[in-house]
Structure 1
Amino acid sequence: MTSSHEQISFPRQYARTQRFTLGAPRAFSVSPDGERVVFVRSGSGTDRTHGLWVLDLREGVERLAADPEALLAGAAEELSPEERARRERVREGSAGVVGYAVDGAVELAAFALSGRLFAAELRAGTARELPVPGPVIDPRPSPDGRFVAYAAGGALRVTGADGTGDRALAEPDPATEADGVTYGLAEFAASEEMARTRGFWWGPDSDRLLVARVDERPVKRWWIADPAHPGREPQRVAYPAAGTANAEVRLFVVDLSGNRTEVLWDRAAFPYLGRVHWSSEGAPLLLVQARDQRTHAYLAVDPESGATTTVRVDEDPAWLELFAGVPAWTADGRLVRITDEDGVRALAVGDRVLTDARLHVRAVLDVGAEDVLISASAGEAAGADGAAGADASSETGEIHVYRVSEQGVERVSEAPGVHAAARSGAVMVLSSARPDAPGSVARVLRDGKQLAEVVSYAQRPVLSARARLVEAGERRIPCAVLLPSWWSAGDGPLPVLMDPYGGPHGQRVLAAHNAYLTSQWFAEQGFAVVVADGRGMPGRSPAWEKAVRDRLTLALDDQVAALEALAADFPLDLGRVAIRGWSFGGYLAGLAALRRPDVFHAAVVGAPVADWRLYDTHYTERYLGLPDEQESVYAANSLVTDAGLVDAREPARPMMIVHGLADDNVVAAHTLRLSSALLAAGRPHEVLPLSGVTHMTPQEQVAENLLLLQVDFLKRALGLG
């Protein structure tokens, strides 16, 4: 343990605090009566075990409603394979109460610990175990608080909130549905790529549910082995690689006696179940997608017959995004959706589009009686090539909360930063991360006036990020530039480290201090660090995002353009340029070293998608189509093909390729194929295999030492002392 007078290193602190997320409150729920705010939080900035907390707004005090250590009597938490997979999909690396669900009054919460079911009475602040068969996944109380539904053993089950009457409502038929059919769980593609982690939804009257039936038998099986333990059997996973069969998803209305009615829609035309919404404001509402994701259908469900009625169909020549919080109904029965129209990503309610080019809508946070609460960036109309419009915003990296109604748009969050909110009625929790202060602050507001601030135990970083946010080049590419704190103008130019993610859904240029801590640490090692968000990234305009259709390599073009433009204003040594990245960023780093060695002199390639044919259907086909129909497109966007390197250019640049061998998202086969191709071509590279590590590298020693090893490689590769 570090003594009080000993300065902990940033890599160790970064790893120990799980990127400074431990101890910070999150996952807020607000009670409709405005008396309680529920959230999860661990006990310190290094405590990985989260408890369930309640902030009593009447008394202004916080109470621990569920203490995992007490509930488990000090025993270590044990996770089932299904729960481990679920947490991997949502990138959850901590322990304890990492998720919960509440009833309509926010008086009862349900959660799982070690595969066991627990319920907490939030007014009283007490928790107890409900004796049910497990391992339990995703428990959810009914709106009236009388029941708790949960998934276990492939079945969707329900028990009374008092722990009596447990029974299966829908379960696989052992004779016809064994080995691959589950009820009440999301399939891989939904949880990994659609941000739909649920597989069942309570009806507003608490008398029936919508339940997803997932049949993974058509999906090809892959085997993920642990070479460090040859005595262990490989893990068998159903992985829907691009161009192959997906899981078959059906939906049923199931009552509390187990009677079921299938929900009917054209599943051949719309195989993806993207969103499900069921509230007292209207009929159950589905958003279903075509496989090419260029068509969405909004369907209203008749719970009695299972028949569906088309409410609306949207189409786009590139693709249509899925968004949080929509579709939904307003209290008077109008459809709430986010739409790309006339070059603008806007909020639509009923037949009216309520926002314009001044906002780029990102999510719906709450649909109230008089307004809709949204998350949005400052918007700008964009040309067909994704270039920025003339009225580009100066709010680079900022995300704000807005109220939208027929009367207009009102911004709720004030200071520059990245803001999010949870709301019920007049009470809102506004979480704000700012560029000039570490961490984030969660304030509780009633009618705009602060009632309380939720305590955060997150540690303060041992360094301060000094990011300068700018827009670079003709396309005005959003960038963050970080220089060493010790650098002065007389020190001359610095070797450059490009530090992007660079791909869809992965915005890195944010007006938030902690977003740049790792980049600042690399800067302190003697680099000028550049984070650039080129085309394909969210937050600017639909055209900016969709410019990468069939051309993911445009991400590399924009990294080069940003680098060259920034060199005019910052001390960048263009003769010593490296790049590092993970996942899509790893792909981008590999692409940079192979395709643009005239610009990049070394690359750290982390968990790269080297061959897009090995990545999943929903993500890959959105951007590249089907591999059998777009073979040349796949070849042009991949790092390798069966024939070897694609479009690699001289001179050969050193690469360090890093991959977790337990990764079930970007499997290690990507790195093995890339390394084989590099070896065959005689190109220098190093491979760092991480035994037992998944895609999110949560282990403390791995996270710490991985940073140190990258710096060592980069200094060697660039010839730095």
Structure 2
Amino acid sequence: MWKRSEQMKIQSGKCNMAAAMETEQLGVEIFETAECEENIESQDRPKLEPFYVERYSWSQLKKLLADTRKYHGYMMAKAPHDFMFVKRNDPDGPHSDRIYYLAMSGENRENTLFYSEIPKTINRAAVLMLSWKPLLDLFQATLDYGMYSREEELLRERKRIGTVGIASYDYHQGSGTFLFQAGSGIYHVKDGGPQGFTQQPLRPNLVETSCPNIRMDPKLCPADPDWIAFIHSNDIWISNIVTREERRLTYVHNELANMEEDPRSAGVATFVLQEEFDRYSGYWWCPEAETTPNGSKILRILYEENDESEVEIIHVTSPMLETRRADSFRYPKTGTANPKVTFKMSEIMIDAEGRIIDVIDKELIQPFEILFEGVEYIARAGWTPEGKYAWSILLDRSQTRLQIVLISPELFIPVEDDAMERQRLIESVPDSVTPLIIYEETTDIWINIHDIFHVFPQSHEDEIEFIFASECKTGFRHLYKITSILKESKYKRSSGGLPAPSDFKCPVKEEIAITSGEWEVLGRHGSNIQVDEVRKLVYFEGTKDSPLEHHLYVVSYVNPGEVTRLTDRGYSHSCCISQHCDFFISKYSNQKNPHCVSLYKLSSPEDDPTCKTKEFWATILDSAGPLPDYTPPEIFSFESTTGFTLYGMLYKPHDLQPGKKYPTVLFIYGGPQVQLVNNRFKGVKYFRLNTLASLGYVVVVIDNRGSCHRGLKFEGAFKYKMGQIEIDDQVEGLQYLASQYDFIDLDRVGIHGWSYGGYLSLMALMQRSDIFRVAIAGAPVTLWIFYDTGYTERYMGHPDQNEQGYYLGSVAMQAEKYYEHFSSHTLLSLLHSFFIVNKHPLRCFLCFVTCRLRRYFQHDYICIHMPSSSTVCLSGFCAHSYHSSQAHLTSKLMTMSPFLSPPYMLDTFQYNSFDKI
């Protein structure tokens, strides 16, 4: 609106001309930095009066929030995802490809499979809108469709799935087989294979079973799509969808009522791997079958077996008064034991008619901890294209050393209880058969696991080529093409003794940097590379043009040169490339425009196939257009005293009145692996921030050091000291904005966030109570020694080696500091869920924390314990309790009654809590 002076505006603009030019190209409006901040005498400015936000009634806020949630649900429902391209191979037909995807049906609001046809030619004078056609006929999956078992609820929580219906699907290109889970059933259907392409919705076929409990993680066998595998009660099963033959492969779990006596699982990723490494499966089909002389074939499954006998069991009591059910979970607290893990392999021999002849369970020839010394986590696993080797990406416990290993099926022997027979099997394996460490890297900060690993088909028996992404070399994640020599190990197993860590390490013959610079290649949360092995190109998403925008790029991996951007600037994109690299789909948006999904055709000159250009082909989802009553935030940046450029977003009050100073709400996350400030549309997920602005608050969002997409040095700034630097960056950002805008009232600032943002909200009151008057902390971590191993030790190290860091980063250990800095004008609201598993150990400690905090917040502390029946929304609370609490926030501690009510009540409480400022 208006700044302190035009003079300041002009001078600041001169100081940052380069940044302004870059910003103009990006199409993102960013305020100038504070490098040339002017000192303006207070007597030159008129005295401003504070603006007081109107106190809204319960019914008013209820209606406001209900309206915003309706739009939120509509916008979320319309985004297609999980695209699959299939060639039509019809020379005379009008369509070149069919694309399949998941989206929400308009009729029943459930996620299901759709398809669209891609025309061979388009009318360039008009915009083509592809029609969505349902692949599946309406069917009743099961009687409990939309109801989830505890296993499914936990998995949906960790995957952050908030919709009902089909969450994912598997597809086999050769046969056109789809496989998916719906309700408690597993279904298959065929389209796009030898049987052709349907024009009518298909009725899925249920994979029948004798299993009494829920079946999870179904996968098609890539070597024979008649066979599928799935997990039932922590063991691996297979089933033939044609003959209906079913077989249990592993027998490690006994389904005992006492969890302590039943600690093992097969093919299942344990809690920490799912929650902190984004790996949700624990078994991998071999892509090729081995043919035997008698005409039968061998199918293989590599899987992990876990033994959690040393992992602590926690008990979670349901908050629902009518059930009071207690659930038990294995939870490895930082500094305690992780599950013991090993690789195993199942070999299934199939006859010519597709019947099972034999199943052999195999184990490693030597214990996992001997073959892979120092390895704590199996971060990723899979198979090379020919199925000659299994591969795995392994991490040590500190997550500062990464190894990529190849494992031959010959390294496994049949499980044998007889010692003499087992020794005979061991001796039958040649000494030359060992694991092969084809790549290793280390860092002093930590290694961020990603999904980028592409193995090329082997052209030489003694070499392996692959593309991998690394941050360890330059501090920014970049692509490298690596050739390793598969040399025979010096270690001779038959001679006895144990192998040295270097015995299995293969020399790197060649390492080519495909990309470089102070920007990063994206490799998580759906971003991955697509390799065109015919044209020697690699497609990837990255931040080359701006840390605030994601774009699709292409570059040669044989002769790396200039990287070519394929998507339009001024937007942030999430892309999917076709298998033949001739089309790509982009879902894109910016601060002003909601997401849109478009299809583009890729082409190149005949004389230069590496020079790729795009052509708009069709729209899959058009933008919803401007939102009513929505004002997008403005992006700003400033140079912090640490030398980094920090970015933020500013939501101005909608009815900004000259001469008024407005209360400010700082919305915060501040933790690793998250970036809040970027050029994406914020009107869906963060619509509540717009609502606060419409009520008369200034809302500020800042990405401090530790957030992602800025390089490992920026992210690693809080190594060993979480909670100690983030608030400094946030306060510096607030002070910068206040120096630029008169309407920001730094005497009335509140802070709010969830998870790590809730934790920092607590830290803000403790560290800077001179700035913050209100804190609403949602599901905060209050004691890091009660958090899980994978997350906490990555950033803080082992607690025995960083006692000071754990103390200074823990709210509960420093509760007395609230008393030291406490003001009679300060309000703390603590919101906590009963069903966030990785926060639950803290809830056990929450009673202690509550007692200590209550001592220091005698009058201005409210603690709300929130039941949660699913991850879709947080269950609300009694409306009367909310409304009453507003009148008593400064009089006593209140615990809200956990009665069921609409989910928007929680938001209503948050809005009214800011009345304090």
TM-score, length basis structure 2: 0.71
Is the CA contact (8 Å cut-off) linking 1:661 and 1:693 kept in structure 2?
no
| Larger CA Rg, structure 1 vs 2 | 2
- 1:651 Cα deviation after fit: 2.7
Q: Supply the distance in 1 between the matched residues of 2:626 and 2:69 (Cα, whole angstroms).
A: 10
Is the CA contact (8 Å cut-off) linking 2:754 and 2:780 kept in structure 1?
yes
The answer to whether residue 383 in structure 2 is matched with residue 274 in structure 1 is no
SS at match of 1:547: helix
Q: Supply the distance in 2 between the matched residues of 1:457 and 1:560 (Cα, whole angstroms).
A: 36
- 1:621 Cα deviation after fit: 0.5
Q: Which of 649, 666, 678 is equivalent to 1:510? A: 678
Partner of 1:347: 479
1:613-634 Cα offsets, whole Å, 9 max, x none, are 1111100001111122322210
Partner of 1:401: 552
Q: Which of 685, 693, 704 is equivalent to 2:904? A: 704
SS at match of 2:868: coil
Please tell me the residue identity of whatever aligns with 2:805.
Answer: V
- 1:534 Cα deviation after fit: 0.8
Of all paired residues, the percent bearing the same amino acid is: 21
Q: Which of 729, 733, 753 is equivalent to 1:558? A: 729
- 1:209 Cα deviation after fit: 1.7
Q: Supply the distance in 2 between the matched residues of 1:677 and 1:656 (Cα, whole angstroms).
A: 15
Q: Supply the distance in 2 between the matched residues of 1:160 and 1:366 (Cα, whole angstroms).
A: 31
Can you give the 5+ residue segments of structure 2 that lack an aligned partner in the other structure?
1-61, 89-95, 121-129, 193-197, 290-298, 349-357, 413-433, 459-463, 483-510, 604-613, 877-900
Q: Supply the distance in 1 between the matched residues of 2:650 and 2:108 (Cα, whole angstroms).
A: 32
Q: Supply the distance in 2 between the matched residues of 1:589 and 1:454 (Cα, whole angstroms).
A: 41
| Structure 2 counterparts to residues 422-437 of structure 1, below 5 A | 422-423=576-577, 424-425=579-580, 426-437=582-593
Is the CA contact (8 Å cut-off) linking 1:483 and 1:523 kept in structure 2?
yes
Q: Which of 408, 411, 422 is equivalent to 1:305? A: 411
Is the CA contact (8 Å cut-off) linking 2:184 and 2:214 kept in structure 1?
yes
Cα 1:311–1:104 change in 2 (3 A) is farther
Partner of 2:240: 160
Q: Supply the distance in 1 between the matched residues of 2:109 and 2:846 (Cα, whole angstroms).
A: 31
1:210-240 Cα offsets, whole Å, 9 max, x none, are 2122222221011111233264331111111
The answer to whether residue 449 in structure 2 is matched with residue 449 in structure 1 is no
Cα 1:680–1:80 change in 2 (3 A) is same
The answer to whether residue 772 in structure 2 is matched with residue 692 in structure 1 is no
Is the CA contact (8 Å cut-off) linking 1:627 and 1:634 kept in structure 2?
yes
Q: Which of 80, 96, 108 is equivalent to 1:25? A: 80
| Structure 2 counterparts to residues 284-683 of structure 1, below 5 A | 284-306=390-412, 307-324=434-451, 326-331=452-457, 333-340=464-471, 341-350=473-482, 351-363=511-523, 364-369=528-533, 370-378=536-544, 395-405=546-556, 406-408=559-561, 409-423=563-577, 424-425=579-580, 426-443=582-599, 445-447=601-603, 448-455=614-621, 461-474=627-640, 475-488=644-657, 490-514=658-682, 516-553=686-723, 554-570=725-741, 571-641=743-813, 644-645=815-816, 649-652=820-823, 653-667=826-840, 668-669=843-844, 671-683=846-858
Please tell me the residue identity of whatever aligns with 2:237.
Answer: R
Cα 1:208–1:491 change in 2 (3 A) is farther
Is the CA contact (8 Å cut-off) linking 1:377 and 1:400 kept in structure 2?
yes
| Structure 2 counterparts to residues 105-184 of structure 1, below 5 A | 105=174, 107-123=176-192, 124=198, 126=202, 127-132=204-209, 133=211, 134-144=213-223, 145-162=225-242, 164-172=244-252, 174=254, 179-184=262-267
Please tell me the residue identity of whatever aligns with 1:64.
Answer: P
1:433-478 Cα offsets, whole Å, 9 max, x none, are 2222113324354543344332479897544242111212333211
Partner of 1:13: 68
SS at match of 1:287: strand
Please tell me the residue identity of whatever aligns with 1:454.
Answer: I
- 1:71 Cα deviation after fit: 3.5
Cα 1:98–1:17 change in 2 (3 A) is farther
- 1:331 Cα deviation after fit: 4.5
- 1:175 Cα deviation after fit: 11
- 1:32 Cα deviation after fit: 6.3
Partner of 2:273: 190
Is the CA contact (8 Å cut-off) linking 2:593 and 2:625 kept in structure 1?
no
SS at match of 2:675: coil
Is the CA contact (8 Å cut-off) linking 1:328 and 1:337 kept in structure 2?
yes
Is the CA contact (8 Å cut-off) linking 2:751 and 2:776 kept in structure 1?
yes
Cα 1:219–1:230 change in 2 (3 A) is farther
SS at match of 1:111: strand
Q: Supply the distance in 1 between the matched residues of 2:598 and 2:848 (Cα, whole angstroms).
A: 46
Cα 1:151–1:15 change in 2 (3 A) is farther
Q: Supply the distance in 2 between the matched residues of 1:275 and 1:431 (Cα, whole angstroms).
A: 27
Q: Supply the distance in 2 between the matched residues of 1:304 and 1:495 (Cα, whole angstroms).
A: 68
Please tell me the residue identity of whatever aligns with 1:329.
Answer: V
SS at match of 2:912: helix
- 1:48 Cα deviation after fit: 4.4
Cα 1:662–1:377 change in 2 (3 A) is same
Is the CA contact (8 Å cut-off) linking 2:131 and 2:620 kept in structure 1?
no
| Structure 2 counterparts to residues 73-88 of structure 1, below 5 A | 76-88=145-157
Q: Supply the distance in 2 between the matched residues of 1:51 and 1:404 (Cα, whole angstroms).
A: 35
Cα 1:29–1:482 change in 2 (3 A) is same
Please tell me the residue identity of whatever aligns with 1:335.
Answer: F
The answer to whether residue 128 in structure 2 is matched with residue 36 in structure 1 is no
Q: Supply the distance in 2 between the matched residues of 1:548 and 1:678 (Cα, whole angstroms).
A: 26
Report the structure, 1 or 2, having the larger helix content.
2
1:625-661 Cα offsets, whole Å, 9 max, x none, are 11223222101101112x7445764134211111111
Count of residue pairs brought into register by the alignment? 691
Partner of 1:382: none
Please tell me the residue identity of whatever aligns with 1:107.
Answer: G
Partner of 1:241: 333
Q: Supply the distance in 1 between the matched residues of 2:728 and 2:869 (Cα, whole angstroms).
A: 32
Partner of 1:387: none
Cα 1:562–1:163 change in 2 (3 A) is farther
Q: Supply the distance in 1 between the matched residues of 2:475 and 2:144 (Cα, whole angstroms).
A: 55
The worse-fitting range, judged by mean Cα deviation, of 114-123 and 311-320 is 114-123
Is the CA contact (8 Å cut-off) linking 1:465 and 1:513 kept in structure 2?
no
Cα 1:433–1:594 change in 2 (3 A) is same
1:94-129 Cα offsets, whole Å, 9 max, x none, are 111011122244822211122211012133352211
Partner of 2:136: 66
Partner of 1:385: none
Is the CA contact (8 Å cut-off) linking 2:784 and 2:810 kept in structure 1?
yes
Cα 1:303–1:445 change in 2 (3 A) is farther
Cα 1:665–1:322 change in 2 (3 A) is same
Aligned-pair Cα RMSD in Å: 2.8
Q: Supply the distance in 2 between the matched residues of 1:173 and 1:610 (Cα, whole angstroms).
A: 35
Q: Supply the distance in 2 between the matched residues of 1:648 and 1:349 (Cα, whole angstroms).
A: 56
1:496-535 Cα offsets, whole Å, 9 max, x none, are 1111111001110121113542222211121111110111
- 1:170 Cα deviation after fit: 2.1
Q: Supply the distance in 2 between the matched residues of 1:139 and 1:698 (Cα, whole angstroms).
A: 29
- 1:18 Cα deviation after fit: 4.5
1:560-579 Cα offsets, whole Å, 9 max, x none, are 11111122223311111111
TM-score, length basis structure 1: 0.90
SS at match of 1:170: coil
Q: Supply the distance in 1 between the matched residues of 2:855 and 2:372 (Cα, whole angstroms).
A: 45
Q: Supply the distance in 2 between the matched residues of 1:413 and 1:10 (Cα, whole angstroms).
A: 36
SS at match of 1:212: strand
Partner of 2:12: none
